[in-house]
Structures are given as C-alpha cells and as structure tokens.
Amino acid sequence: MNMTATKTASQLLKEQSVVAILNAARECYSEKGISKTSIDEIAIRANVGRTTIYRNFKSKKAVTEQLIMLDIIDSKIRLLNILEKTKNPEDCIVAGFVFSVFEFPKEPIYSILFGDEESFAVTRDLTIDSELLIAMCNEIVEPTYKKAKTSGRLRKGLTLALMTDWLVKITYSFLMLPTQYQQDQKAFKKYVRQFVIPSLLTEQT
C-alpha cells in the first residue's frame, strides 16, 4: 500500500470535513444565532458525527473563531486589491474606510456576531490571535503608508505601526458608533478627507 497516497487521501477527507463543518456552522449561526446553536445541530447540518467535529475543533468556540478569521482574511484580500488600484495616499485612505464601513459589515460572520445582543456577548469569550491580526492590519495599511512616504506627505514621526494603530481605532469607532455621515458614501468620503486624512498626511504642495 502506498502510505503517501493514503495520507494524502486522509488529509483531503479532513479538509472536506472542516469545510463542511464551517459551512454548516455559518448556516446555523445565520438561522439561530451563535449562542442558540449546538454542536449537535452543526454536526447534523454538516452530515458528520460529533466526533469528527471534535477531531478538528476543540469546541464550538474554536469553530466560531475559525469562521471569523476566514472572513477577515477574505476581506483583507479584497481590500488589498482595491488599494492596489488607488493612485495617491488620500484615495488609499478613503477607499480603506469605505470598504471597512460599507462592505465589511456585509460579511456573513459580521452580521451574525453583531446582529443581536446574545451573539455580540459571545465575542467577549473568543480568542483571536492578536499577533496575526496586527500583522494583517499592517499588511493592509502598508500600501497607504508607502504611498504617503514616497510622496513626502507622511506626518513627521508617523511609523507604519502608529498609522495602523490609529486607522484601526478610527475604523472600530465607525463600526461601533456610527455617525450620520455613514448614511451616504459621498458624505462619508468628504468627512474622511476633512477630518481623518489631515491627522495622517501633510498638505499637498
């Protein structure tokens, strides 16, 4: 027997099981909410046994954390593609905020997590790799930072880490405490250009 082939088949089966479990969890969460969904319900929807779930995930919490990371990674890829097409740092910043405020909330896991108070309460117990998140945020902000630095418009003393920290905090405030400007993209873009960009970039000469 070819052990390499057997191992490959085993790995493929595991990957298929993981995908089925995650898809089933997403569907169950969308229908009932995270807190009201049980491992048994996920197993039935995924057409796998409880043992298969626990072989791949330590708990329902681990399943939820994996779903969140997948949506974050997907959003990161989409946003980087958008930022790559911008010509200057201002447009980069505006495009980033527009995506984060208007597009990211459309991601399935976002609406699930923040759709009701019970689901939102679940997020307090989740453990997301903070170092990985910071690394991804730095990767997202880096195109803007480079364009600002190349154009000579980067605020004095502003590092990539500081820019990332500031942009993440502002984005979080927009998502958690929406303003009247978020009802209209045109008004929102104007708001960002008027009040956010000056904190990061110097005047264009």
Query: Tens-of-pLDDT digits for all 205 residues of the chain?
Result: 444 445 565 565 678 899 999 999 999 988 888 888 999 999 999 999 999 999 999 999 999 989 888 888 888 999 999 999 999 999 999 999 999 999 888 877 777 776 666 766 776 777 777 888 899 999 999 999 999 999 999 999 999 999 999 999 999 899 888 888 888 999 999 999 999 999 999 987 6
Cβ neighbour number for residue 4 with a 10 Å cutoff: 8
**Domains annotated on the chain, with CATH:** 1-57 (1.10.10.60), 62-199 (1.10.357)
Taking a C-beta distance cutoff of 8 angstroms, is the pair 22, 65 a contact? no
Query: To the nearest 5 percent, what fractions of the chain are helix, strand and coil?
Result: 80, 0, 20
| pLDDT for the residue numbered 115 | 64
Tokens read off for 182: 């978020």
Backbone angles phi, psi at 201, to 5 degrees: -120, 150
| pLDDT for the residue numbered 172 | 87
| pLDDT for the residue numbered 70 | 87
Please choose, from the candidates 16, 127, 118, the residue with its C-alpha nearest in 3D space to the C-alpha of residue 69.
127
In DSSP terms, which residues pair with 201 in a beta bridge? 154
pTM of structure: 0.80
CA–CA separation, 196 and 73 (whole Å): 25
| pLDDT for the residue numbered 4 | 47
Burial class (CB in 10 A: 0-12, 13-18, 19+), 99: middle
| pLDDT for the residue numbered 114 | 67
Residue 21 CB contacts under 8 Å (≥ 6 apart), including other chains: 42, 43, 46, 48, 52, 53, 56, 57, 63
DSSP state, residue 182: G
